[in-house]
Amino acid sequence: MLQVAIISDTHIPTRANRLPDWVRTRIQRADYTIHAGDFDSADALASVGELTDGNLTAVAGNTDPRSLRLPELATRELDGVTFVVTHGTGPKRGYRKRVAKTVRETAGTVENGAVVGVAGHTHRVMDEEIDGVRLLNPGSATGAAPARKATMLVATVEDGSLTVQAHES
C-alpha cells in the first residue's frame, strides 16, 4: 500500500511564501508525491523535491518558467495504477473534457491496470468521472487565489485500486 500526496498550484513566491506546515507534513509522510504544475519558481520546485526525497512526478504549469524544464505531460505507475499528470492549461470552459481527452489519449499507451488523470490549474478540488475517465484536481496547496483554502489530495494505492481523501486548511 502506497500513500501518494497530490498537490498543485503552489505559486511560490508570486502568491504565497511557502507551503503550509500541514501540507509539508503530509508530503513528508507520503511514499510518493505528484505536483500538477504552477510551482512558479526553481526554489519552490527544489523545496518540494527535498520534502519528497526525489519521489516526485511534476509537470509544468502555465506560470512556470521554462528554465524549470518540466514536461507538460507525465505518467507514473504506482502499485498497478497509472497516473497521467498534466496541468490542464487553457480556458475554464471545456476544462474537464480537455483534460479527460488528454488522459484518454495517453492511457492508450498504458498496457494494463487502472488509469487516473491528475490536473491542476483551476485551484478547485475535484474527484470526478468525466467521459469514463477519473480526474483528480487537488486545488491549490497554498490556497492561492482564486482558492479560498489550501487543499491537497492523498491517494492510497494498492494492487491497482485507488482511494482518495481531500484535505484542507
pLDDT reported for residue 154: 98
Q: How far is residue 117's CA from residue 110's CA, in Å, rounded to a whole number?
A: 13
> Does the structural domain 2-168 have CATH classification 1.10.4160.10?
no
The low-confidence residues of the chain, meaning pLDDT below 50, are none
If one counts every other C-beta atom within 10 angstroms of the C-beta of residue 111, the result is 6
The per-residue pLDDT for range 26-68, each reduced to its tens digit, is: 999 999 999 999 999 999 999 999 999 999 999 999 999 999 9
What are the boundaries of each domain within the chain?
2-168
Residue written as cell 504552477?
A: 38
pLDDT reported for residue 107: 84
pTM: 0.96
Q: How far is residue 75's CA from residue 67's CA, in Å, rounded to a whole number?
A: 21
In this structure, the strands spanning 32-35 and 56-58 are: parallel
Residue written as cell 508530503?
A: 27
DSSP secondary structure, the chain, as one string: -EEEEEE----TTTT-SS--HHHHHHHHHSSEEEE-S---SHHHHHHHHHHHTT-EEE---TTS-GGG---SEEEEEETTEEEEEE---S-STTHHHHHHHHHHHHHTT--SSEEEEE--SS--EEEEEETTEEEEEE--TT--TT-SS-EEEEEEEETTEEEEEEEE-
